[in-house]
Amino acid sequence: MTKKSGSTELSPQEIAIIKKVFNRIDEDGNGVIQISELSKSMKEIVPDVTDDEVEEIFSSTDLDKNGTIEFNEFLRIFSDWMNS
């Protein structure tokens, strides 16, 4: 991770790791994450996560509100998180 004018830029290695996580969640391999895929993955990590919590995370990540999370939206979560 490198700093550029006050913001964090992800390294190619970090982007590759995030892409692997994205692909693991994207079970059907169609290039997007659907809410059912996110829910399943989240419940593996946090078994007591509620459907409302999953929906809130999904909704806040689906920036273009098309009902799926594309890689660029998924990547932005990590970039924003590292910049906070």
Residue 9's pLDDT is 84
Would you state the structure tokens that stand for residue 80, as one six-digit string?
A: 């924003």
Q: pLDDT-derived band of residue 8, with 50, 70 and 90 as boundaries? A: low
State which residues form the domain around 69. 25-83
The residues with which 4 forms a beta bridge, in sequence order, are 7
Give, in degrees to the nearest 5, the angle at Cα 35 between 82 and 26.
70
Residue 2's pLDDT is 47
Tens-place pLDDT, residues 16-62: 999 999 999 999 999 999 999 999 999 999 999 999 999 999 999 99
Residue 77's pLDDT is 87
Domains: count for the chain: 1
- For residue 38, what is the domain's CATH number? 1.10.238.10
Q: Is residue 5 part of a domain?
A: no
- Please state the pTM of the whole predicted model: 0.85
